[in-house]
Amino acid sequence: MTRAYLRPTGFVESPFGLDGQLMRLAGGLLWFSSIELTLDGDDGRSVNLLPVAEIDRALDELSGTTQDQARAAWSNLTAPRAAIELGERTIRLDQPQILGILNVTPDSFSDGGQFDAGGDPAEAGFAMAAAGAAIVDVGGESTRPGAQPVWEGDEIERVLPVVQRLAGSGTAVSLDTRKAGVMEAALAVAPVMINDVSALTFDTRSIEVVARATCPIVLMHHQGPPETMQQSPHYDRPVLLEVYDWLAERIDAAAAAGIDRSRLLVDPGIGFGKSVQHNLQLINGLSLLHGLGCPIMFGASRKRFIGALSGEAPADQRLGGSVALAVKGADQGAQLLRVHDVPETVQALRVWRGLRDAALTPL
């Protein structure tokens, strides 16, 4: 079977005076003028760049399931994304939002052990929200390259008090876990979004827990477990296409289990079973993932490849690269930007938003 992939490109600052030549991306603040249409099948791969005005004609020339799949992706590219509902909190996704990383772990790659010598992780979460984070992502297990699994009971003990305090104060909370028991413990005390780096594959019960809870869920691509994922990662096809297809399968699996598609978000999993080149290719082509019809969460903050591109800078010296990548994500329509450095990224995003607002204001 030949598969079709539609990547929006040719982004334009202002739509005024360009009727019929632009389309709005996922109901957000970006407008695109072109589609990179990739056809990939047993007889080879072709790539064509088409103006949006020619897309219907190009799709008419496709046949059977290839055309059906392409038309579904085209519809997904322009459909608005549903807001994230967390109790009384509503996070709109018609603009990029910040998700602040709050690790209560002894061994996370850049901020593990930050509370070992004292300090209150919940207060750190409050500070992130005050600085402009729409959601605070609480994690109790490191999934850095080489990390070993944490016992479920230890993970619950780490995250539950923090989740309770944050949610109890009205802060929107995400829980970074791949274990059903941890999900159940948190969902019993607060409305949380589940952020599962295994895309509901690590724990056989997790998909049932999420389906029953009717909570939002982030499905992240990965290749292999944290213990081995960075040992010579390899893809047989372009990494962007493989990640797209893998996420499409996980979306279908979640839907088949009774999870409404409006509750699903996707994450390309930067650094999870990817080389530096894989990461860069995914980031350059990130807008392709809008064809899946789900909001995109993009997390490249302080990742190792930033150091590889900047003289092996250690994790705590990767602020500039992290902010640059967050803006790159916003430029491709990512709805959630997962970051460690909330105030600095919020400031960058406010400048980005100011530029967008100026471009979208008629003269």
Active-site residue list: 303, 338
Give the Cα separation of 251 and 295 in Å (integer): 12
- Establish how many alpha carbons lie within 13 A of residue 290's alpha carbon, considering only the half-sphere containing its beta carbon: 33
φ/ψ of 207, rounded to 5, equals -65, -35
CA contacts within 13 A on the Cβ side of 116: 8
List C-alpha distances in Å: 299 to 40, 89, 199, 326.
28, 22, 15, 8
Residues 6+ apart with CB under 8 A from 284: none
CA–CA dist 223, 233 (Å, integer):
7
Please name which of 181, 180, 185, 216 lies closest in space to residue 200, comparing C-alpha atoms: 180
DSSP E strands, 66-132:
84-86, 89-91, 97-103
Three-class SS string for 288-356? HHHHHCCCEEECCCCCHHHHHCCCCCCHHHCHHHHHHHHHHHHHCCCCEEEECCHHHHHHHHHHHHHHH
Cα–Cα distance between 354 and 275 in angstroms, integer? 34
- 355-363, Cβ contacts within 8 angstroms, sequence gap of 24 or more: 355/13, 356/13, 356/29, 356/30, 359/13, 359/14, 360/14, 360/15, 360/29, 362/16, 363/16
